[in-house]
């Protein structure tokens, strides 16, 4: 199976020994504690679940600046986006301490991890601006990723962590949430040698469906991992439970049995465009995938990134030896009126604009929010029913 990122094997930070876990939970009740931001809690989940291997914890200020500059820590470890625990104040904390990290997303803020503080540093205004420009390519506070980072504070708490649970993800999504270790085990159990991963934060319309099929065929993969984000998105996005139901129904009805693995991961969307595409690739390599689909405006939002910037970064900025996973560069997909099916536009050079029906997750959401039916070129009827039921339910809640 494909190697993990930066190491021969995964280095998950979850504590699996129940005796050690009980000792840490008892210790945590007597340590200084902080309530994490949702972003930092998501980082803890990803560290615990093996997706952020080989990282051992949160990056320091020095490491964060180095990663922003060249996607490497000072010791040479490749990583595309700093894994940060940012707080507004560190009053009462000192380097060398062990502290309790509490989960902001559950009632009562229970313990999620224990961190050993190796460094406590404040970002300067110049460093903060540098991080924003390098990671998000903008400092615009209207950008949701920028807004999230700015809201957390400027104190960087660096150091390794021991993760004690996966927050709400296991309980709320028992059939979908999977760690990188679990996905690797499932790939091995199925005997798949080649696996192409598809990232989604949206319901899958017909363009997504066909793109998965094309990617599997052209990479020669044995199977497809449809890997959905389960954490926080932005207002107006479809909840994870609805997306999961729609995706399962699509796979059940329209994919060859035994060729698709559906799973989810516990992370908040960053909307960091090209840098996040590289992070997504590293995560899927850690999950055991050999290929990863990077499409148009991958991990983008608004007009902050060019349509194919997330593909160019792998050629221009990612060192050749940094990742073992291969990138499947997808063109924009559209429904061909002439062929009666979804195609990548580059595969239909004889088509003109009038021959295509443009497909997008944004357009699907707009139609559903307006109470309109999805045309068959946009979505399978089984998927459209699930999404339509959801949008009708929220419309009825809004009625006086």
The residues annotated as belonging to the active site are 201-202
| The token pair that represents 92 in the structure block | 């009462």
* Bridge partners, 336 (sequence order): 341, 356
- 192: nearest Cα among 225, 223, 224, 226: 223
Neighbours of 191 (CB within 10 A): 8
Structure tokens at 174: 């028992």
Both ends of the chain: CA-CA distance in Å? 56
| Token code pair at residue 240 | 């994870």
127: its two tokens: 């460093």
Alpha-carbon separation of residue 183 from 227, 262, 337 (angstroms):
10, 10, 38
Per-position DSSP letters for 328-375, written without gaps between them: EEPPPEEEETTTTEEEEGGG-TT--GGGEEE--HHHHHHHHHTTPPPP
Look at the block and give the residue holding tokens 């689909």: 293
Please, what is the angle between helix 309-316 and helix 274-286, to 10°?
70
Whole-number Cα distances in Å, 272 to 133, 147, 162, 314: 10, 12, 27, 15
38, 221, 289, 291, 314 from 200: Cα distances, Å: 20, 19, 15, 15, 19
């Amino acid at each position: 199976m494909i190697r993990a990122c930066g190491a021969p094997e995964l280095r998950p930070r979850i504590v699996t020994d129940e005796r050690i876990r009980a000792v840490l939970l008892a210790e945590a009740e007597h340590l200084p504690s902080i309530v994490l931001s949702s972003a930092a809690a998501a980082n803890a989940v990803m560290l615990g679940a093996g997706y952020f291997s080989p990282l051992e914890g949160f990056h320091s200020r020095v490491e964060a600046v180095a990663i922003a500059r060249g996607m490497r820590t000072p010791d040479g470890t490749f990583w595309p986006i700093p894994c940060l625990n940012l707080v507004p104040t560190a009053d009462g904390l000192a380097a060398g301490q062990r502290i309790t990290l509490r989960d902001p997303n559950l009632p009562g803020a229970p313990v999620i991890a224990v961190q050993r503080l190796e460094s406590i540093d404040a970002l300067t205004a110049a460093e903060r601006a540098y991080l924003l420009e390098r990671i998000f390519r903008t400092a615009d506070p209207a950008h949701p990723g920028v807004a999230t980072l700015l809201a957390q504070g400027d104190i960087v708490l660096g150091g390794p962590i021991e993760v004690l649970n996966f927050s709400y993800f296991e309980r709320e999504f028992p059939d979908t949430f999977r760690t990188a270790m679990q996905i690797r085990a499932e790939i091995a159990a199925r005997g798949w040698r080649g696996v192409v991963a598809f990232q989604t934060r949206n319901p899958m319309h017909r363009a997504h469906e066909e793109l998965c099929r094309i990617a599997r065929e052209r990479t020669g993969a044995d199977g497809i991992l449809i890997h959905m984000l389960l954490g926080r998105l932005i207002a107006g996005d479809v909840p994870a439970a609805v997306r999961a139901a729609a995706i399962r129904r699509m796979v059940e009805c329209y994919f060859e049995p035994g060729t698709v693995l559906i799973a989810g991961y516990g992370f908040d969307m960053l909307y960091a465009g090209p840098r996040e595409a590289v992070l997504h690739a590293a995560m899927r390599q850690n999950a055991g995938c050999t290929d990863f689909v990077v499409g148009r405006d991958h991990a983008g939002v608004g007009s902050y990134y060019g349509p194919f910037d997330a593909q160019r970064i792998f050629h221009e900025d990612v060192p050749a030896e940094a990742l073992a996973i291969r990138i499947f560069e997808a063109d924009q997909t559209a429904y061909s009126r002439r062929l009666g099916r979804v195609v990548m536009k580059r595969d239909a050079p004889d088509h003109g604009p009038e021959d295509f029906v443009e497909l997008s997750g944004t357009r699907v959401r707009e139609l559903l929010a307006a109470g309109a039916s999805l045309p068959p070129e946009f979505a399978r009827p089984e998927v459209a029913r699930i999404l339509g039921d959801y949008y009708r339910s929220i419309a009825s809640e809004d009625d006086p």
